[in-house]
């Protein structure tokens, strides 16, 4: 037999109102009219004194001991101190200044007697509450849990049968259940509980909780908000989340869609106290445990108190139907709704509908990726999940450099956003620390970090600095470069130029493509020949009356098709721009934060020191934060004519994200792993190239990799159509990649840096299959599988 508390077996006291009135006046000095109030195990009266004030007089069950009573009293006093706004009853002192007294009743039994202030309101029934009221109910519960966080009491260790953590102890009571369906459902629920909850229950955060926060034990005002929290008789130290599963059971009773009520109460709770992943995943089973307790304890008690059958069995039918709902698909419904295992908000909007509604973003918005666009709801490491729970290996997105939704980064953002988010007109350690750490990774001399919010802004500021410092107005970029969207920077982005547009202030150089460009590897001097074009660009600017202020280079030539020229090329062009008095801006928006493996920053492989370095994309793993790093000398000259401020740039939350990204890169050895996985991927792709003649070239460094498709055996002419079919074929088979290059014939492979060799194998096998199908006569039609 489980450990049955004696308050459940012992009958409540039955004092006459006159006797109780006498006690109220003698013990508490409050004389008034008494009316009886219901209670399962105690005897309660409402006391109205002469002045119209109302109180609750409580005579405890004879089996109630002093430790339980002091536990409740101390908890109430603690709550009133920590969150005085919570509507709990205030203990009233006796004429001796104590919070309770022991009295003998005429029958000779001793009872503990207490008096409290009276709470106004009426109990509500679940079906009468809208979702807003249910969410507010959850929020009140979360406040109650918070207010008790720091509370300790020697009686907290008592073991209650109502503690969902101990649901397995209910098993012996199941034999009292006479209804076969109930017996089967409760048994199955406990089997699930033993398998899923028991092994991990000890690792849940725990504290004293109310443990019976239900609609029966709360009062509501006319606004449907909790106006009174009653009955602290089940207080115990247990998993915090048990409060929530108990509240869920109560609001889900008798509703047409119990799941939406469960979801609403959890959402309301989470608006005050975030619910941990493990807690979310256990909630459906803890809810079931609560229902089993309701059914099993009632079945057992009704045998001892048959005369009280109606009261005891009051919620059994509801509990049974909710348990049947869980068993018939409700577990899965709740898991989906609560997003157990994810923090993604569940979505009710169809993909098609969203696609229609996307018009609101305007016709200039870049098109959706893939012929069958993706509607994603969740990310985790290298994986993305769509609304149907289908997962995709992300081999395209370079922003989530440490993996999608890395918990340390997400937590850092959440924590800082709960504490403070301001701007750089106030001191904050996050911005200073991030700036120092970034400067510490760069060559000596690059000792200033200016924060902005995007790669475009970083390049725009770099351009302003370069022009201000050199007093010149000309820019040099590669032929298909992309550096951002501002008016100034889009002039530096030929990839972005409107057809026929060439800004007067910008000259281009051919990107160093040794495979299909103007100088090829057959020429031993091909790289130097590319570098020499820098001088042509300078001449071009001079012909228009301009001198070069800066050369901007994306160290990975991403939009030029992903190119890896020899290091001498980089040194050569940088020497040439410096020789003209212009600056070198290393755009690390794509290649920064370890993507190329051997170094944290892409320019490092050239062995050069840039005058300005711009960072963005991966810097916050998805949170907008970007920066310009340069020398004090450059900034000091700029500062002679203007100062710089960006409202959001370098705010404490953005910098918390940036710091967390650096922490994870270091602690998980991410940059060190890139070379290994990158080489395995490049080697595997080269093996595929031997089998598939449509691959003209595989090139890349670390995890920035391009696969150029070609339409004939010379390996030169571009085949953009094939690249598109392959990209869509991969998407259909669960792997996301993109295309790039002036001809759009290059597969762009840029996964989060956390991918491992297993992911690499998956990518290679899938690409092999897709290429086989695409190269067959009739080929792959995207979306057909």
**Which residues sit at the interface with ligand PMP, rule CB under 6 A?**
454-456, 459, 482-485, 554, 558, 587, 589-590, 616-617
Q: Are 145 and 273 in contact (CB under 8 A)?
A: yes
Helix (H) or strand (E) holding 262: helix 258-270
Sign, Cα dihedral of 357, 360, 361, 363: positive
Shortest reach from residue 208's CB to ligand PMP, in Å: 48
* Minimum CB distance to ligand PMP, residue 600 (Å): 16
482 vs 603, which CB is nearer to ligand PMP?
482
Residue-wise DSSP of 592-622: TTTTTSSSSSGGGGGT---SEEEE-GGGGBT
Cβ closest to ligand PMP, residue 481 vs residue 755: 481
- 3-state DSSP call for residue 232? coil
Nearer to ligand PMP, 258 or 602 (CB): 602
Count other C-beta atoms under 10 Å from residue 266's C-beta: 27
C-alpha closest to that of 243 among 270, 203, 277? 270
Choose between 554 and 732: whose C-beta lies nearer to ligand PMP: 554
Quote the least distance from Cβ 455 to ligand PMP, whole Å. Answer: 2
* Residue closer to ligand PMP, measured from CB, 558 or 718: 558
Identify which of residues 482 and 638 has a Cβ nearer to ligand PMP in the complex. Answer: 482
Which residue has its beta carbon closest to ligand PMP?
455
Minimum Å gap between C-beta 457 and ligand PMP is 7
Burial of 765 (0-12, 13-18, 19+ CB in 10 A): middle
- Report how far apart, in Å, the C-alpha atoms of 54 and of each of 45, 217, 281 are: 10, 19, 43
Q: How many residues does the chain have?
A: 785
Question: Rounded to an integer, what distance in angstroms lies between the CA atom of residue 452 and that of residue 629?
Answer: 11
CB of 296 to ligand PMP, least distance (A): 58
The C-alpha angle 114, 116, 121, rounded to 5 degrees, equals 135
Measure CA 736 to chain center: 21
Q: How far is the CB of 459 from ligand PMP (least distance, A)?
A: 6
Give the nearest distance from C-beta 590 to ligand PMP in angstroms.
Answer: 4
- Between 231 and 554, CB nearer to ligand PMP: 554
Note whether 279 and 248 are within 8 A (CB).
no
- Residue 507 CB, shortest distance to ligand PMP, in Å, is 18
Two tokens, residue 279: 């807690």
* Residue 89 in tokens: 């009853």
Q: Name the residue with tokens 């590669």.
A: 478
In the complex, what is the shortest distance from the CB of residue 454 to ligand PMP, in angstroms, rounded to a whole number?
4
**Closest distance to ligand PMP from the beta carbon of 554 (Å):** 4
DSSP letter for each residue of 185-200: HHHHHHHHHHHHTTTT
| CA-based nearest residue to 562, from 514, 497, 526 | 514
| In the complex, minimum distance from the CB of residue 573 to ligand PMP, in angstroms, rounded to a whole number | 16
268 or 618, CB closer to ligand PMP? 618
Token digits of residue 81: 């101190």
What are the helix (H) ranges across 148-257?
A: 180-196, 241-252
Query: Which of 258/494 has CB closer to ligand PMP?
Result: 494
In the complex with ligand PMP, the residue whose CB is nearer, 238 or 555, is 555
Number of alpha carbons in the 13 Å side-chain half-sphere of residue 164: 32
**C-alpha torsion sign, points 321, 325, 326, 330:** negative
Least Cβ distance, residue 76 to ligand PMP (angstroms): 54
* 3-class secondary structure per residue, 73-125: HHHHHHHHHHCCCCCECCEECCCCCCCCEEEECCCCCEEEEEEEECCCCECCC
Query: Cβ of residue 458: shortest distance to ligand PMP, in angstroms?
Result: 7
- As measured in angstroms, the least distance from the Cβ of 359 to ligand PMP is 22
Shortest CA distance to 210 belongs to which of 177, 164, 256, 273? 164
- Beta strand segments in 608-732, E: 612-615, 626-630, 695-701, 704-709
- Indicate the residue among 62 and 462 with the shorter CB distance to ligand PMP: 462
Is residue 749 classed as helix, strand or coil in its secondary structure?
Answer: strand
Taking the least distance from each CB to ligand PMP, the nearer of 560 and 719 is 560
Q: How many Å apart are CA 45 and CA 123, to the nearest integer?
A: 17
Rounded (5°) CA angle 534-538-540: 115
The residue behind tokens 């089998």 is 691
Rank residues 595 and 759 by Cβ distance to ligand PMP and give the closer one: 595
Between 285 and 495, name the residue whose CB sits nearer to ligand PMP: 495
């Amino acid at each position: 037999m489980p450990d049955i508390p004696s308050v459940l077996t012992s009958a409540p006291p039955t004092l006459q109102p006159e006797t109780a009135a006498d006690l109220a006046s003698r013990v508490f000095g409050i004389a008034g009219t008494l009316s009886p109030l219901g209670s399962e195990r105690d005897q309660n009266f409402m006391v109205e004194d002469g002045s119209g004030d109302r109180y609750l007089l409580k005579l405890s069950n004879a089996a109630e001991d002093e430790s339980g009573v002091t536990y409740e009293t101390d908890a109430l006093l603690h709550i009133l101190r920590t969150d005085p706004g919570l509507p709990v009853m205030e203990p009233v002192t006796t004429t001796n200044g104590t919070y309770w007294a022991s009295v003998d009743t005429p029958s000779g039994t001793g009872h503990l007697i207490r008096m409290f202030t009276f709470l106004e309101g009426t109990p509500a029934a679940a079906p009468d509450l809208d979702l807003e009221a249910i969410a507010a109910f959850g929020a009140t519960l979360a406040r109650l849990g918070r207010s008790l966080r720091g509370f300790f009491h020697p009686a907290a260790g008592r073991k209650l049968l109502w503690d969902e953590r101990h649901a397995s102890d209910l098993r012996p009571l199941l034999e009292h259940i006479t209804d076969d369906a109930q017996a089967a459902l409760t048994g199955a629920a406990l089997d699930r509980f033993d398998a899923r909850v028991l092994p991990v229950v000890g690792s849940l955060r725990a504290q004293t909780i109310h443990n019976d926060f239900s609609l029966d034990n709360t009062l509501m005002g006319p606004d449907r908000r909790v106006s009174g929290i009653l009955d602290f008789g089940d207080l115990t130290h247990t998993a915090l989340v048990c409060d929530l599963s108990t509240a869920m059971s109560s609001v889900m009773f008798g509703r047409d869609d119990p799941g939406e009520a469960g979801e609403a109460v959890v959402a309301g709770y989470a608006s005050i106290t975030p619910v941990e992943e493990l807690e979310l995943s256990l909630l459906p089973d803890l809810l079931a445990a609560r229902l089993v307790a309701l059914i099993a304890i009632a079945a057992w008690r009704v045998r001892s108190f048959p005369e009280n059958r109606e009261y005891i069995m009051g919620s059994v039918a509801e509990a049974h139907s909710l348990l049947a709902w869980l068993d018939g698909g409700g577990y899965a419904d709740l898991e989906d709704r609560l997003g157990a295992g994810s923090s993604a908000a569940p979505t009710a909007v169809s993909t098609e509908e969203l696609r229609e509604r996307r018009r609101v973003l305007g016709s200039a918005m870049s098109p959706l990726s893939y012929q069958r666009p993706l509607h994603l709801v969740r990310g985790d490491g290298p994986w993305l999940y769509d609304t149907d729970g289908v997962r995709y290996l992300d081999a395209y997105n370079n922003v989530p450099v440490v993996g999608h939704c890395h918990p340390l980064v997400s937590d850092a953002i959440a924590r800082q956003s709960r504490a403070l988010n301001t701007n750089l007109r106030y001191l904050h350690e996050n911005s200073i620390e991030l700036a120092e750490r970034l400067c510490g990774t760069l060559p000596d001399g690059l000792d200033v970090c200016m924060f902005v919010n995007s790669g475009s802004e970083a390049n725009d500021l770099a351009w302003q600095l370069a022009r201000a410092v050199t007093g010149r107005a000309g820019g040099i970029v590669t032929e298909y470069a992309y550096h951002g969207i501002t008016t100034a920077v889009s002039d530096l982005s030929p990839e972005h130029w409107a057809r026929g547009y060439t800004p007067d202030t910008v000259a281009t150089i051919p990107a160093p493509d040794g495979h299909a460009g103007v100088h090829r590897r057959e020429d031993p001097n091909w790289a130097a020949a590319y570098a020499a074009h820098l001088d042509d660009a300078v001449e071009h600017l001079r012909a228009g009356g301009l001198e070069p202020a800066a050369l901007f280079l994306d160290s990975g030539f991403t939009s030029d098709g992903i190119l890896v020229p020899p290091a001498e090329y980089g040194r050569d062009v940088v020497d040439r721009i410096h020789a003209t008095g212009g600056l070198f801006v290393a755009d690390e928006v794509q290649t920064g934060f370890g993507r190329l493996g051997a170094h944290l920053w892409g320019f490092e492989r050239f062995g050069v020191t840039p005058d300005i370095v711009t960072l963005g994309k991966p810097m916050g793993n998805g949170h907008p934060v970007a920066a310009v790093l340069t020398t004090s000398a450059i900034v000091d000259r700029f500062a002679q004519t203007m100062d710089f401020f960006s409202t959001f740039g370098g705010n404490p939350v953005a910098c918390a994200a940036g710091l967390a990204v650096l922490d994870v890169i270091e602690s998980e050895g991410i940059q060190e792993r890139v070379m290994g996985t990158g080489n395995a991927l490049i080697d595997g792709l080269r093996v595929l190239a031997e089998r598939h003649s449509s691959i003209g070239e595989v090139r890349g460094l670390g995890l920035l990799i391009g696969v150029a498709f070609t339409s004939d055996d010379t390996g030169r002419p571009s085949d953009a159509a094939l690249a598109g079919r392959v990209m869509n074929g991969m998407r259909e088979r669960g792997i996301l990649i993109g295309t790039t290059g002036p001809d759009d014939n290059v597969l762009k492979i840029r996964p989060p840096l956390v991918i491992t060799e297993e992911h690499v194998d998956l990518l290679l096998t899938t690409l092999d299959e897709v290429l086989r199908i695409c190269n067959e006569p009739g080929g792959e039609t995207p979306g057909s599988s």
